[in-house]
């Protein structure tokens, strides 16, 4: 007498495995987990940029926030065509370069910091598309600056469990804003 699985038994096992797989995927929602991971990276990157520029401002006697004295009416982005999230209607400067010597997308020469730049390259958004890019704006009069990033996961967006967009103190409730001013309204 032969022992083995019949076609019906095999079909039942495959069906059960398919149902379990669908339930696990529905509960874990891997696409949302990837979005959350990218958002966590955005928060970390903007914190790093804020610390680097704050150090630059703290140690240099004559800091230059934009390399050309054109902060007021402009913003800089890590990708061409980035969506502007600042007040007013600033002009846009783009670069995909990650150099920290003022030639990258951030126009500050961080290598002027005594001891060298605190970061080796400028971070860029994990997606780095027009909808998801890092943007920067500054004010040379009061030496203020702001970095912006758009969150994509429900967890980090406005009213999410770990909302960073609404609670950041900025003037745009749908964008994560960090900088050295309390209003963050550049």
Q: What is the pLDDT of residues 19-52, one digit of tens each?
A: 888 888 777 788 999 999 999 999 999 999 999 9
pLDDT at position 82 = 82
Length of the chain: 186
Closest to 95 measured CA to CA, from 67, 140, 134, 38? 134
- 83 by Cβ neighbours in 10 Å (0-12 / 13-18 / 19+) ranks as middle
Give the global pTM: 0.84
DSSP labels, 90-155: -EEEE-----TBTTSSS--BGGGSTT--SSSS----SS-SSSS--EEEEETTTTEEEEEE---STT
User: Which of the four pLDDT bands, split at 50, 70 and 90, describes residue 62?
Assistant: very high
pLDDT at position 52 = 98
Torsion of CA 111, 112, 115, 118, to 10 degrees: -50
Q: What is the pLDDT of residues 115-165, one digit of tens each?
A: 999 999 999 999 999 999 999 999 888 899 999 999 999 999 999 999 999
pLDDT at position 5 = 75
pLDDT at position 87 = 64
DSSP labels, 35-60: HHHHHHHHHHHHHHHHHHHHHHHHH-
């Amino acid at each position: 007498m032969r022992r083995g699985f019949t076609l019906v038994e095999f079909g039942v096992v495959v069906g059960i495995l398919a149902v379990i797989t669908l339930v696990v995927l529905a509960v874990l929602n891997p696409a949302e987990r990837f979005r959350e991971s990218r958002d966590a990276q955005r928060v970390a990157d903007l914190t790093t940029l804020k610390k680097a520029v704050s150090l630059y401002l703290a140690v240099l006697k004559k800091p230059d926030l934009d390399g050309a004295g054109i902060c007021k009416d402009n913003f800089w982005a890590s990708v061409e065509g980035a969506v502007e999230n600042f007040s007013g209607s600033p002009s846009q400067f783009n670069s995909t370069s990650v150099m920290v010597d003022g030639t990258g997308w951030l126009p500050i020469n961080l290598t002027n910091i005594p001891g060298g730049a605190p970061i080796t390259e400028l971070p860029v958004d994990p997606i780095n598309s027009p909808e998801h890019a890092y943007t920067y704006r500054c004010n040379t009069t009061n030496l203020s600056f702001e970095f912006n990033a758009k969150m994509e996961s429900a967890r980090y967006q406005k009213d999410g469990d770990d909302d960073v967009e609404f609670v950041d103190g900025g003037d745009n409730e749908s964008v994560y804003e960090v900088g050295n001013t309390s209003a963050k309204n550049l």
